[in-house]
Structure formats: structure tokens, C-alpha cells
């Protein structure tokens, strides 16, 4: 499962799932590039990665700004080398209060799509030419259980995450002949800042529906990402791995 000598980029890596995944990839031996808008959080993640003895570069960037994103990747490539692993983790809905779709504004829908879907497509487009040239690469997208089982007040989020599943499968089919795998992890209820957007009673009801009987931890997702990034997953592509404590069984 060693990633020694490889370079990974993790977007949305300032906190939560992204931070846990960046640290896990470093523990597996990879050097790590970090992208997020939260500069303070990025500094903390960078310190955690470097504590594992790996090289790390962190850049505060708006992932929905294509020009800034391209420049950030160019800087990471110049500093760290070939970006062989891309974890498109940025997304979520931090700071957005859920509301009925009929009462929401179109701009909110656009923001969800831009961060949860379009940014992943843009990042993938940037790294793919060199992956294709070298005939190796791993792209891992963070979708959600909500891509398959939505809930009230989550139409914007569910739509974007379902789109990311479609993107994952279509891209996997297109690049498989080049030795590149594309997969998605689909978290369930995970202890991240996203939970702060919901009232406690909503969270209690959600947890009650999890057969495993608990909220997941960011490290639960990191284990899955570690596998999909590893040499052991070279025959796995176009798949989505639900890490949701069994909540979607029914």
C-alpha cells in the first residue's frame, strides 16, 4: 500500500475529511500538495503532514476561480513534481443554511455545482495530460451518500454530488486505457463543519438511521481514499465506495 515517491494533491484540505486524507496519504509515503480557501486551516494541515516527514506545499486558492486554480497547480507541479494522485475533496455547503428548493435562489444552486462538481472537473482536466503521457494516475472524488439517497432541503447538494458520480464513471471509462483510475468515495454522516448547518434534532434523527449507530469520523474516509490511491487498487475504476455506516442499505 506504500505511496513512497508519489505526490498527491488534496483539495478542500484545510479541515475535516480533507485534512484527515492528506495526513493519511503522507503516512502512506506521499508528498502532499494542499489547496483550500482557508489559509489558517491549511497551515495546520501542512504542519500535520510535515510532522509525518513528508514534503508539503499549501496554497490558499478559490477552487471556483479557474485562472487561480491553474496557477496553483503549476506552482505545486514546479515544487513537488509529477502530480500522480488527485483527491478532489473540496465541496460541501459550509455557511449555507438549508431551505426548501422553491425558496432558494438560483445563485445558491450555481455555487453548489461550482464547488462540488465543476471544481473537480477543472482539477482533473489540469492533471490529466501528464497522467496520460506517463500512463499512470489516480483520481479520487469525494461525492456523498446524498447522491443516492437525498433528503429534504438538500436538492442543491444532492444534485451536484450525483453529477460527480456521473463524472467519475464517464471519466474512468475514457482514461482507463492510459492506466489511470477514477473512483469516488461517498461519505455518510461525518463529523465535519457541514454538520453545524443543521439543528441538533436533525442530526439525532439522522444518526438513528445509521445501522452502525454512530457518526463517522474523517479518518473513516481517509482509509478508503488510501486504498483507492494505492497500487493495490489498480484494477478498481469507475466505482463509488459508500462509507456511511450502512445507512443506504435500505
Question: Helices (DSSP H) in 176-217: which residue ranges?
Answer: 200-208
**Backbone phi and psi for residue 240, each to the nearest 5 degrees, phi listed first:** -125, 130
**Backbone phi and psi for residue 99, each to the nearest 5 degrees, phi listed first:** -150, 160
Active site residue ranges? 157
How far, in Å, CA of 184 to CA of 22, rounded? 16
Distance spanning both ends of the chain, measured CA to CA: 33
Q: Which residues pair with 242 in a beta bridge?
A: 186
Place of cell 475535516: 16
How far, in Å, CA of 122 to CA of 73, rounded? 11
Q: What is residue 149's three-state secondary structure?
A: coil
Amino acid at each position: 500500500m506504500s505511496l513512497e515517491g508519489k505526490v498527491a494533491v488534496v483539495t478542500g484540505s484545510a479541515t475535516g475529511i480533507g485534512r484527515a486524507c492528506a495526513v493519511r496519504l503522507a503516512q502512506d509515503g506521499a508528498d502532499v500538495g494542499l489547496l483550500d480557501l482557508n489559509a489558517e486551516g491549511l497551515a495546520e494541515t501542512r504542519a500535520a503532514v510535515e510532522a509525518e516527514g513528508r514534503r508539503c506545499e499549501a496554497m490558499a486558492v478559490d477552487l471556483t476561480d479557474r485562472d487561480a486554480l491553474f496557477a496553483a497547480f503549476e506552482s505545486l507541479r514546479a515544487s513537488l513534481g509529477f502530480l500522480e494522485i488527485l483527491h478532489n475533496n473540496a465541496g460541501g455547503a459550509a455557511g449555507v443554511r438549508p431551505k426548501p428548493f422553491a425558496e432558494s435562489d438560483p445563485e445558491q444552486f450555481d455555487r453548489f455545482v461550482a464547488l462540488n462538481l465543476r471544481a473537480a472537473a477543472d482539477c482533473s482536466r489540469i492533471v490529466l495530460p501528464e497522467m496520460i503521457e506517463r500512463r499512470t494516475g489516480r483520481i479520487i472524488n469525494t461525492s456523498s451518500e446524498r447522491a443516492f439517497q437525498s433528503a429534504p432541503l438538500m436538492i442543491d447538494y444532492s444534485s451536484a454530488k450525483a453529477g460527480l458520480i456521473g463524472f467519475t464513471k464517464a471519466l474512468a471509462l475514457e482514461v482507463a486505457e492510459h492506466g489511470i483510475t477514477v473512483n469516488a468515495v461517498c461519505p455518510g454522516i461525518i463529523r465535519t463543519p457541514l454538520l453545524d448547518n443543521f439543528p441538533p434534532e436533525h442530526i439525532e434523527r439522522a444518526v438513528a438511521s445509521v445501522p452502525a449507530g454512530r457518526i463517522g469520523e474523517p479518518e473513516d474516509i481517509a482509509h478508503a481514499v488510501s486504498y483507492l490511491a494505492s497500487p493495490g487498487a489498480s484494477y478498481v475504476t469507475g466505482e463509488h465506495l459508500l462509507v456511511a455506516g450502512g445507512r443506504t442499505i435500505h
